[in-house]
Chains A and B, each alone.
Chain A
Amino acid sequence: MLPISQLDVANLASIRGERVLFRDLSFSALAGRPLCIEGANGAGKTTLLRILAGFLSPSAGTIRLRMKDGGGTADADLRGPYIGFIGHREALKSQLTARENLAFYAALYRAAGDLDAALAWAGLARVADLPAQYLSAGQKKRVGLARLRLCARPLWLLDEPLAALDHAGKALVTAMIAEHCAGGGIAIVATHEGLDLDCAQLRLGLA
């Protein structure tokens, strides 16, 4: 079982210059049940995820990661090692093959899983040895999914994971989120198209 139990966010605010993206935002993401962040473009979904990931300091508020053993941390640097992240950009090197890209992240994250199995799972077995520049947008996204699965971090922060994917790809994402949560993981998913899963909802942009 994974060590974390929930992520508590209290009175979070993000103000950039004069622009208030959100304020007094409080919610909890529980292990076992995905949290779906919805909102129109520009509502602050990406900013919220980047704050949760610790890339960006919030203007106010606290983020606390709670452990199953009763401990916890509000320190963004201590949260980092638990986070599996998918952002807007694929984070792939176009000159390296899909396999090389994946192998790099597996080594960087000290992941022990089987590369070939991860590639096959993502439906990339045939294109694994092509440089990433030849992959379609959806295939690049799938490399990211394989990376997320392989690196096996307990707290997932996914920014529009369904974008650019076909039906099968979307089903793959939904299934992997369900599987991750069933295994005791936390998944926070920003999406404007909704997730075909039983999940908690948070709407941004009504403030």
Chain B
Amino acid sequence: MSAFVALLGRDIRLAFRAGGGAMLALAFFIVMAALIPLGIGPDLKLLAKVAGGVVWSAALLAALLSLDRLFQADYEDGSLDLIALSPLPLEAASFAKIAAHWLTTGLPLTVVSPLLGLLYGLPPAAYPALVLSLLIGTPAISAIGAVGASLTLPVRRGGLILPLLVLPLVTPALIFGAGAISAALNGLSNGAFGLLCAFSFVAVIVSPFITAFAVRPNLAG
């Protein structure tokens, strides 16, 4: 078993153990999306129209829930020291942690999203766009969120300002993701998937380097 897989596996395991964020994020996602119709009324036509935006916003917030612990936990208990001394470069370790975060939040959210589509009366033609946009776009949330998590590492209550840092940076994902769904609703094709792919790809490639760069000085003490 390689060092990368070891870290990936450990983070996935931790996310599903007591105090882990996976189930919490999923529950938050469903509850939030289920509560919004209570606010805006049961009109299924209207709900179908806003479904894409609601699901995407809920996914963003749900993914943020567990992000502030992404490095903080390892920092506080000293694990980060040992990860830094391991044969795994910090960039690869960051990538492993981003991947684990996505596998335990973004992917489960994507899997249950058709259920929310039902609640919102989404026409069948829009389901592929719903699932596909989340599948492509949520890695960008984990990746950009990891940058935010690394920047707030020296902050004692980093979770409080993390959303303020991360949410503006991920707006393109939200716009392209929700845009892809609304295009599918209207039977159009607007290139949203291509843009979302590009954004997500660049975010996932670049962010481990930025993250490692921001994490490293925290080893000092």
Contacts and interface: CB of A to CB of B under 8 A. Distances in A.
In-complex A–B contact (CB below 8 Å): yes
Contacts of B87: 81, 108-110
A102 to B, nearest CB: 12
Contact of A55 (B3, B79, B81): B81
Contacts of A90: 77-78
Contacts of B6: 104, 107-108
Interface string A66-106: 00000000000000110101011111111110001000110
A88 B78 CA distance: 8
A95 B3 contact: no
A50 interface: yes
Contact of A108 (B14, B20, B83): B83
Given A93-B77, A96-B13, A56 B219 contact: yes
Contact of A87 (B20, B73, B81, B220): B81
Contacts of A50: 219-221
A174 interface: no
B10 interface: yes
Nearest to B81: A87
Nearest to B18: A95
B66 to A, nearest CB: 14
Given A85-B81, A110-B87, 10 more contacts: A50-B219, A53-B81, A80-B85, A89-B78, A92-B79, A104-B6, A104-B7, A107-B5, A110-B3, A147-B82
B17 interface: yes
A89 B84 CA distance: 15
B3 A108 contact: yes
B101 to A, nearest CB: 16
B190 interface: no
A55 B20 contact: no
B86 interface: yes
Contacts of A107: 1-3, 5-6
A105 B87 CA distance: 11
Interface in B164-183: none
A100 B84 CA distance: 19
A89 B87 CA distance: 21
A95 B17 contact: yes
